Amino acid sequence: MLSDADAAAQRALTLEPALPVARYAVALNCELRLDWACAEKAYREMLRLPGVGSREMANAARLLAQIGQPGEALKIAASALALDPLSPARQRDHIIVTINARQADTALALIAAHNAANPGARFDPYWHARALLLKGKPRDAAAMAAKDT
Protein backbone atom coordinates (compact mmCIF):
# COMPACT_ATOMS: atom_id res chain seq x y z
CA MET A 1 0.00 0.00 0.00
CA LEU A 2 2.78 2.44 0.89
CA SER A 3 4.55 1.66 -2.37
CA ASP A 4 1.39 2.74 -4.22
CA ALA A 5 1.34 5.97 -2.23
CA ASP A 6 5.03 6.54 -3.00
CA ALA A 7 4.41 5.96 -6.69
CA ALA A 8 1.47 8.39 -6.70
CA ALA A 9 3.49 11.07 -4.91
CA GLN A 10 6.39 10.65 -7.32
CA ARG A 11 4.00 10.84 -10.28
CA ALA A 12 2.55 14.08 -8.89
CA LEU A 13 6.07 15.49 -8.57
CA THR A 14 6.83 14.49 -12.15
CA LEU A 15 3.66 16.12 -13.46
CA GLU A 16 3.92 19.31 -11.40
CA PRO A 17 7.17 19.72 -9.42
CA ALA A 18 6.06 23.13 -8.06
CA LEU A 19 2.87 21.75 -6.50
CA PRO A 20 3.19 21.96 -2.70
CA VAL A 21 0.74 19.14 -2.10
CA ALA A 22 2.96 16.77 -4.11
CA ARG A 23 5.88 17.48 -1.74
CA TYR A 24 3.44 17.11 1.15
CA ALA A 25 2.49 13.64 -0.09
CA VAL A 26 6.16 12.68 -0.22
CA ALA A 27 6.68 14.00 3.33
CA LEU A 28 3.71 12.03 4.67
CA ASN A 29 4.94 8.86 3.01
CA CYS A 30 8.37 9.39 4.55
CA GLU A 31 6.77 9.82 7.96
CA LEU A 32 4.83 6.60 7.53
CA ARG A 33 8.16 4.85 6.87
CA LEU A 34 9.59 6.60 9.97
CA ASP A 35 12.21 8.22 7.75
CA TRP A 36 12.49 11.56 9.52
CA ALA A 37 15.33 12.89 7.36
CA CYS A 38 13.33 12.18 4.20
CA ALA A 39 10.22 13.82 5.71
CA GLU A 40 12.18 16.88 6.81
CA LYS A 41 13.70 17.26 3.34
CA ALA A 42 10.31 16.99 1.63
CA TYR A 43 8.70 19.45 4.06
CA ARG A 44 11.54 21.95 3.58
CA GLU A 45 11.20 21.67 -0.20
CA MET A 46 7.45 22.17 0.18
CA LEU A 47 7.86 25.25 2.38
CA ARG A 48 10.01 26.94 -0.28
CA LEU A 49 7.13 26.79 -2.77
CA PRO A 50 4.38 29.38 -3.11
CA GLY A 51 0.84 28.44 -2.17
CA VAL A 52 1.49 26.12 0.76
CA GLY A 53 -1.70 25.56 2.74
CA SER A 54 -2.11 25.94 6.48
CA ARG A 55 -2.58 22.20 7.06
CA GLU A 56 0.62 21.36 5.23
CA MET A 57 2.52 24.08 7.14
CA ALA A 58 1.17 22.82 10.45
CA ASN A 59 2.30 19.26 9.74
CA ALA A 60 5.77 20.51 8.79
CA ALA A 61 5.91 22.46 12.06
CA ARG A 62 4.83 19.41 14.04
CA LEU A 63 7.60 17.28 12.55
CA LEU A 64 10.26 19.95 13.08
CA ALA A 65 9.26 20.32 16.73
CA GLN A 66 9.43 16.56 17.20
CA ILE A 67 12.90 16.27 15.69
CA GLY A 68 14.38 19.03 17.82
CA GLN A 69 13.95 22.23 15.83
CA PRO A 70 11.46 24.08 18.03
CA GLY A 71 12.32 27.65 17.05
CA GLU A 72 11.66 27.09 13.38
CA ALA A 73 8.65 24.90 14.18
CA LEU A 74 7.02 27.66 16.23
CA LYS A 75 7.49 30.20 13.43
CA ILE A 76 5.94 27.85 10.87
CA ALA A 77 3.04 26.95 13.20
CA ALA A 78 2.37 30.67 13.74
CA SER A 79 2.37 31.21 9.97
CA ALA A 80 -0.09 28.34 9.51
CA LEU A 81 -2.36 29.82 12.16
CA ALA A 82 -2.12 33.26 10.55
CA LEU A 83 -3.32 31.76 7.24
CA ASP A 84 -6.40 30.27 8.92
CA PRO A 85 -6.85 31.92 12.33
CA LEU A 86 -10.42 30.73 12.89
CA SER A 87 -9.65 27.08 12.22
CA PRO A 88 -9.91 24.95 15.37
CA ALA A 89 -7.50 22.48 13.73
CA ARG A 90 -4.82 25.15 13.19
CA GLN A 91 -5.33 26.45 16.73
CA ARG A 92 -4.87 22.90 18.03
CA ASP A 93 -1.80 22.38 15.83
CA HIS A 94 -0.24 25.60 17.13
CA ILE A 95 -0.76 24.52 20.74
CA ILE A 96 0.63 21.03 20.11
CA VAL A 97 3.75 22.44 18.40
CA THR A 98 4.17 24.77 21.38
CA ILE A 99 3.98 21.77 23.73
CA ASN A 100 6.43 19.78 21.60
CA ALA A 101 8.72 22.82 21.65
CA ARG A 102 8.62 22.47 25.46
CA GLN A 103 7.15 25.92 26.07
CA ALA A 104 4.80 25.00 28.91
CA ASP A 105 3.81 28.51 30.00
CA THR A 106 2.90 29.58 26.48
CA ALA A 107 1.07 26.33 25.80
CA LEU A 108 -0.96 26.59 29.00
CA ALA A 109 -1.88 30.19 28.20
CA LEU A 110 -2.97 29.16 24.69
CA ILE A 111 -5.00 26.27 26.12
CA ALA A 112 -6.70 28.61 28.61
CA ALA A 113 -7.54 31.05 25.79
CA HIS A 114 -8.85 28.21 23.62
CA ASN A 115 -11.03 26.87 26.42
CA ALA A 116 -12.39 30.34 27.24
CA ALA A 117 -13.28 30.93 23.59
CA ASN A 118 -14.72 27.44 23.08
CA PRO A 119 -16.50 26.42 26.31
CA GLY A 120 -18.25 23.51 24.61
CA ALA A 121 -15.07 22.21 22.95
CA ARG A 122 -12.37 22.05 25.59
CA PHE A 123 -8.81 21.37 24.49
CA ASP A 124 -7.71 17.73 24.27
CA PRO A 125 -7.00 16.50 27.83
CA TYR A 126 -4.05 14.35 26.69
CA TRP A 127 -2.15 17.36 25.33
CA HIS A 128 -3.27 19.55 28.22
CA ALA A 129 -1.83 16.93 30.60
CA ARG A 130 1.46 16.96 28.67
CA ALA A 131 1.69 20.73 29.05
CA LEU A 132 1.02 20.41 32.78
CA LEU A 133 3.77 17.79 33.07
CA LEU A 134 6.19 20.14 31.31
CA LYS A 135 5.22 22.81 33.81
CA GLY A 136 6.11 20.43 36.66
CA LYS A 137 2.57 19.75 37.80
CA PRO A 138 2.26 15.95 37.76
CA ARG A 139 -0.85 15.79 39.97
CA ASP A 140 -2.71 18.28 37.81
CA ALA A 141 -1.53 16.36 34.75
CA ALA A 142 -2.81 13.06 36.17
CA ALA A 143 -6.19 14.62 36.93
CA MET A 144 -6.37 16.04 33.42
CA ALA A 145 -5.31 12.74 31.85
CA ALA A 146 -8.08 10.99 33.77
CA LYS A 147 -10.56 13.16 31.85
CA ASP A 148 -9.23 11.63 28.63
CA THR A 149 -10.54 8.16 29.48
- On the 0-12 / 13-18 / 19+ scale of CB atoms within 10 A, 42 is buried
| 129/76 Cα distance (integer angstroms) | 24
Q: Mind listing the pLDDT tens digit for each residue in 7-60?
A: 888 888 888 888 999 999 999 999 999 999 999 999 999 999 999 999 999 999
Model pTM score? 0.87
**93 pLDDT more than 70:** yes
Q: Mind listing the pLDDT tens digit for each residue in 26-40?
A: 999 999 999 999 999
